[in-house]
Each structure stands twice: as structure tokens, then as C-alpha cells.
Structure 1
């Protein structure tokens, strides 16, 4: 029963994180092209503030449940398949990229917005977009690896 709960939390964390990045890049960003840049920056600010707060909670849950499953279910790295090793590596990289986003360009974006520097905010938002795009690609590859590695043969 506990294993099912941990696995469910693990999957929900992945869905929120990867799905949120997909939504932000593939639906929200193109839709914002219809509004003027100052309003676009305000919408980005509000939406990403909420999304990053979700990720701050989902990411540790995802990592912790992953480790509990790794050591409790598989018996550690030695007892796990290649897909678990790949997911672990991807999770560490994705977490580092996320922390880099929040402490780098996202922080710069918020500071630029606070001082009314729209060009600076736009430049910082573009760096956020680039890093979120990299994390989305890595996240989608991780989902594919998880699905592929789950079934032998």
C-alpha cells in the first residue's frame, strides 16, 4: 500500500512539473503573442510565480519518493535497471537547472520588473524560456525512458 502511494506521488510530481513546462511553452507563450509586451510580461510574472511555487513542492516530493522507491523497492542502484539510473541522472540535472532558473534569470526578471526595466525583464524572461525548454526536453525524454524501461523485452 505504501509503495503504491509513493509511486502515485512520484508520478503526480512528474506530471505537474513536466506538464506545466509543456503548457507554459506550447500553449501559454504562443497565446501571449496576442497581447502587448508589457501585459505579456505581467502574465508571465503571475503564471510563472505560481508554477515555480508548484515545482518547489513537486520537485522534492519527486526526488524523495524516487529515492524511497529506489532503495525500498529495487534494493538500491545495484538492483535497478538502466532506466532507473537514467531517470536518476535526469532528475538531478533537471533539479539543478530549475534551481539555476529560480536563482538566476527568474530573480533577474523579478528585479527588472520591480524597477520598471521592461527590456531587462524581457531579456531575463528569454533566458528563463531557454532553460525551461531544455528542462522540458529532458523531462519528456525521462518520461519516455520511464515508459520504455518499465516493460522488459
Structure 2
């Protein structure tokens, strides 16, 4: 179970950390670039990051369920923090799927067609959903730490 726990933590760090980098470091830094260059960098960055999330998300969910049933013995044997992490993990996953198949697909299509205004509008929707998911992810990390060590 230790390996499963480590995989769970690594997946969470990659996903939440990547969102934090995107919102807190990358986006503000791109403000110095002209619109088309900014969109190109965002497109390439999101493409790579979303590939990471497509791997981290299932690892996090699978390892979470393995821990839930293999370590805790199911929902009845868990504290409030595990129930909260379960809920927020499912919400984050659903938001990522909505983001990926909605605004991200629109952004990619607009970038491919050279439609900068449409790509920028879709990029703003991606940013908003990533920001929401980041807030949920940071809340989940706080819940995990508080529940594990704070009671």
C-alpha cells in the first residue's frame, strides 16, 4: 500500500502543481507576448500538460480507490477527509473532462484554423476552468493534510 500511496501523492502533485504553474506563473508571464505568440505558447503548454493529466488523473483515482478499499476497508472505515477527497477528486475529474472536450477542443480547432479571436475566447474559458480546478485541488490538499494530522 505504500507504493499505492506514493503514486496517489505523485499524481496529485503533478496535477495540482501543473495547474498552479499554469495560473500563477505561466499566464502572467505570457502577458509580454503578442496575442498570436501567447496563444501558440498556451496551446503547446496545455497540450503537454493535459497529456500529463490524462495519466495522472486515472492513477490518482485508481490509487485512491485502492487505498479506500485496501487500506481503510471501504467508506465505513474512513474519516470525513477521505469522503471529501473522494468527492472533490470526482468533481475535479469531471471538470477536467468538460474542459478537455469543450473549450480545449475549441481552442485547438481555432488555433489550427488561424482564428485567433476564437482561440483567445476558448483559452479564457480554459483558464477559468483550470482556475476553478486549482482552487478545488488546493482545498483537497488542505483537507488531506488536516484530516490526516489535524483531526
- Is 1:140 the counterpart of 2:148? The answer is no
Give the whole-Å Cα distance in 1 for the aligned partners of 2:149 and 2:123: 39
1:54-105 deviation line (CA, Å, top 9, x unaligned): 0000000000000000000000000000000000000000000000000000
* Structure 1: gaps of 5 or more residues: none
Give the whole-Å Cα distance in 2 for the aligned partners of 1:113 and 1:34: 20
Aligned to 1:40: 38
* Structure 2: gaps of 5 or more residues: none
Aligned to 1:105: 103
Normalized against structure 2, the TM-score is what?
Answer: 0.99
Three-state SS of the structure 1 residue aligned to 2:51 is: helix
Q: How does 1:1-153 map to 2 (within 5 A)?
A: 3-153=1-151
| Structure 1 stretches of 4+ moved >4 Å | none
Give the whole-Å Cα distance in 2 for the aligned partners of 1:114 and 1:22: 27
Give the whole-Å Cα distance in 1 for the aligned partners of 2:106 and 2:82: 35
1:111-146 deviation line (CA, Å, top 9, x unaligned): 111111100000000000000000000000000000
Q: How much is the aligned-residue C-alpha RMSD, in angstroms? A: 0.6
Give the whole-Å Cα distance in 2 for the aligned partners of 1:28 and 1:35: 12
Normalized against structure 1, the TM-score is what?
Answer: 0.98
Q: What count of residue pairs does the alignment treat as equivalent? A: 151
**Displacement after TM superposition at 1:152 (Å):** 4.9
Give the whole-Å Cα distance in 1 for the aligned partners of 2:150 and 2:106: 46
